[in-house]
């Protein structure tokens, strides 16, 4: 599949599964299930489409606590390997998040533009708490000084694909994170 487009595997399927289980354990301690029987007390996972779809579904299944799921679709990359700097909402939430414990689930924080925009946007809707869990983080995000409590892997500043992450909508279906051969985007 995609013969020759992937220069190397950066994070294998096994490594993703193992780290997801570790993150789920940490998150279950951070968000103990409530005993009040109110569904609105469940942790609300907000997956950022499309990139976070794989991580969101695997994380939700690994979490030993009840969660609810919502999705937002935003886009800033299109068919480029750098952010356009303009975050567009393609699909908004279907529900109110006021007074909910919200966990944004992201596939990657690269420049940090998407997440800082999203944090501001969601914070204005008055959740009880708002935190982030991202599978991947690149060095620029560290410099952007975003407070991210839960990070799967810190990775080098190279364009990666697979496990939800795309280049021009391809490669999302790979089960691992791979480095995209620069010949694919420079030709």
Ligand X SMILES: O=P(O)(O)OC[C@H]1O[C@H](OP(=O)(O)OP(=O)(O)O)[C@H](O)[C@@H]1O
Residues annotated catalytic, as ranges: 110
Could you give the string, one character per residue 112-151, with x where binding to ligand X holds by CB under 6 A and - elsewhere?
Answer: xxxx------------------------------------
Question: Which CB, 104 or 165, lies closer to ligand HPA?
Answer: 165
Largest Cα–Cα distance in the chain? 58
For the record, the structure tokens of 13 come out as: 């399927």
Query: Contact at 8 Å (CB) between 16 and 165?
Result: no
Residue corresponding to tokens 């919200």: 102
Helices (H), the chain: 13-30, 53-62, 113-123, 139-143, 182-186
Q: Specify whether the CB–CB gap between 106 and 133 falls below 8 A.
A: yes
108 binds ligand X (CB under 6 A): yes
User: Which string of x and - marks every residue 7-36 that binds Mg ion (by CB under 5 A)?
Assistant: ------------------------------
Question: Cα separation of 51 and 179, whole Å?
Answer: 16
Give whichever of 6 and 165 is closer to ligand X, judged by the CB atom. Answer: 165
131 is a contact residue toward Mg ion (CB under 5 A): no
Residue 107 touching Mg ion (CB under 5 A): no
57 contact partners, CB below 8 Å, separation of at least 6: none
Q: Which is nearer to ligand HPA, 15 or 111 (CB)?
A: 111
Give the binding range for ligand X (CB under 6 A) out of 16-24, 33-41, 102-110, 119-127.
102-110
Residues that bind ligand X (CB under 6 A): 48-51, 75-77, 83, 106-115, 166
């Amino acid at each position: 599949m995609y013969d020759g487009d992937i220069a190397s595997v950066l994070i294998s399927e096994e490594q993703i599964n193992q780290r997801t289980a570790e993150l789920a354990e940490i998150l279950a301690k951070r968000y103990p299930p409530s005993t009040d029987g109110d569904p609105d007390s469940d942790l609300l996972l907000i997956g950022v489409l499309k990139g976070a779809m794989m991580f969101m579904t695997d994380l939700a299944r690994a979490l030993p606590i009840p969660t609810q799921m919502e999705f937002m679709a935003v886009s800033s990359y299109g068919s480029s390997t750098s952010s356009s700097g303009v975050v567009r909402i393609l699909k908004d939430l279907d529900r109110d998040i006021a007074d909910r414990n919200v966990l944004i689930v992201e596939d990657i924080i690269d420049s940090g533009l998407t997440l800082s925009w999203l944090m501001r946007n969601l914070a204005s809707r008055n959740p009880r708490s708002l935190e982030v869990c991202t599978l991947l983080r690149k060095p620029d995000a560290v410099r952007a000084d975003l407070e991210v409590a839960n990070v799967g892997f810190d990775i080098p500043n190279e364009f990666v694909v697979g496990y939800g992450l795309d280049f021009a909508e391809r490669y999302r279906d790979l089960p691992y994170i791979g480095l995209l051969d620069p010949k694919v985007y420079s030709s």
